[in-house]
Amino acid sequence: MAPKFLHGAVAAAAIACLPLAPVPATAQDVPVDFTGIVEEMTPAVVAITADRPIEEQPSIEDILPNPFGREQEPDRGPPRGVALGSGFIISQDGHVVTNNHVIQGANTIDVRLSDGSTRSAELVGSDPATDLAVLKMEPSEDLAVAEWGDSDTLQPGAWTIAIGSPFGLGGTVTVGVLSARSRNIQAGPYDNFLQTDASINRGNSGGPLFNAAGRVVGVNTAIFSPIGANIGIGFAVPSNTAQEIVRQLIETGSVERGFIGVSLQPITDAISQALGLESTDGALVADIEPDSPASRAGLQAGDVITALGGESMENPGELSRAVAERSPGEEITLSIIRDGETVEVDLTLATREVEQTAANAEPATEPDGASMGVAVTGLPELLRRELGLEEGQGVMIQRVQPGTPAAEAGLQQGDVILEAGGDTVEQVEDLTTAWEEAREQERPVLLRVARGENTLFVPVETEQG
């Protein structure tokens, strides 16, 4: 199922000489209701109408179908060519935060305030990678302004309050708790969503998620639902991410991110075993971009990046976000594991001009035979030149036998095997040797494979089924 875009007072009395029972701090912090917060914050929340060509769709739909602003039922939804969303005012200069997919491709953008008045707005800048955008309407001293809160201090179980315009119904308030942190919903390379069970639906996109103090701790962005409506699983961009993106958009109209030029893979149990690692923490370098900071610093495919600037990196997503949060031109130090040894590599970040996504490999599963299960041939010269390979390097998979370790590992016809067990593959015998050695040592054999424009590592199990 794909995510879709979209108390009481406490009283006590002492009896005889018995001491009072302590009242948990959490119970003392529970509000009687949220009317005060809603009354104060609702004027800072706006409804957004974006008029755009119907053939233009937000790019995020390719990953998360049915965003809040998308028409799903034309007979009951917004008019064709019109996207509905929410936003919130962050300054009396007229700056409004919303989602990129609400306004992307819009010809005109209108903002409706809580008093019913409507103002036109212009796009200041947007960031598709985090699905955030900033609008600008006429400044006014009487504009209500929402203040940012600290999303890092918000823990599961804390109150969350969503105010927005679901289905065009402005000023709608829903309340729930933070369900989880750091959710990866495959929306982009910097996924780090807050999950809430406060009811949010289509039209809530871009609206604020408040904490119990009335501060913005998230920007509502997506829902997970089989029916396109709320089922208690909503996602918001954390305020500590959004605030920095918004700042850059206001100052420059765009976002600059640090870039090192690598494709990364998570380290599975099989990959960890094949490389002799002690854990699955870190990020495996699957490929290096030519003339990139990583290339110039000497990083190699097969390196495992475990830390940046002394801070441990548990997975590719954490590393990607840490790099992106740094500025181009900044010097960083990466700790990597190479051939069983830990070394440090210094490099200077460049500007990320094109968003990169991590290469993904199918996980290996238990095989049912001693044969790897592939038929390979030498590479055609034209393909060798396109891949930039030296003469004799690499073999191509012509056939994958069903039910074999190769099939279970996700190898495909047309894949080009570049390395096996860390050694270059120039002929079938090289692949066979690496396979047999891995079988003798009862560990997976790690293949480096070229597939289309991507290069990835694929662990193939060797144990008998």
CA distance 368 to 360: 24
Non-local (6+) Cβ contacts of 16 within 8 A are none
3-state DSSP assignment of residue 249:
helix
Q: Which of 86, 95, 126, 131 is catalytic?
A: 131
**Structure tokens given for 24:** 């948990």
First to last CA, the chain: 31
Non-local (6+) Cβ contacts of 222 within 8 A are 3, 4, 5, 6, 64, 67, 68, 185, 187, 193, 234, 235
CA distance 110 to 122: 9
C-alpha closest to that of 80 among 102, 112, 103, 51: 51
C-alpha closest to that of 205 among 2, 69, 52: 69
What Cα–Cα distance (Å) separates residue 141 from each residue in 91, 144, 145?
A: 9, 9, 10
Is 131 considered catalytic here? yes
Q: H or E stretch including 122? A: strand 118-127
Is 101 considered catalytic here? yes
Q: Which of 199, 205, 263, 335 is catalytic?
A: 205
CA distance 18 to 347: 66
Non-local (6+) Cβ contacts of 185 within 8 A are 3, 64, 191, 193, 222, 224, 235
Q: Which of 95, 101, 191, 272 is catalytic?
A: 101
**Structure tokens given for 335:** 């700790």
Please, are residues 286 and 359 in contact by the beta-carbon 8 Å criterion? yes
Greatest Cα pair distance in the chain: 95
**Where in the sequence numbering do the catalytic residues fall?**
101, 131, 205
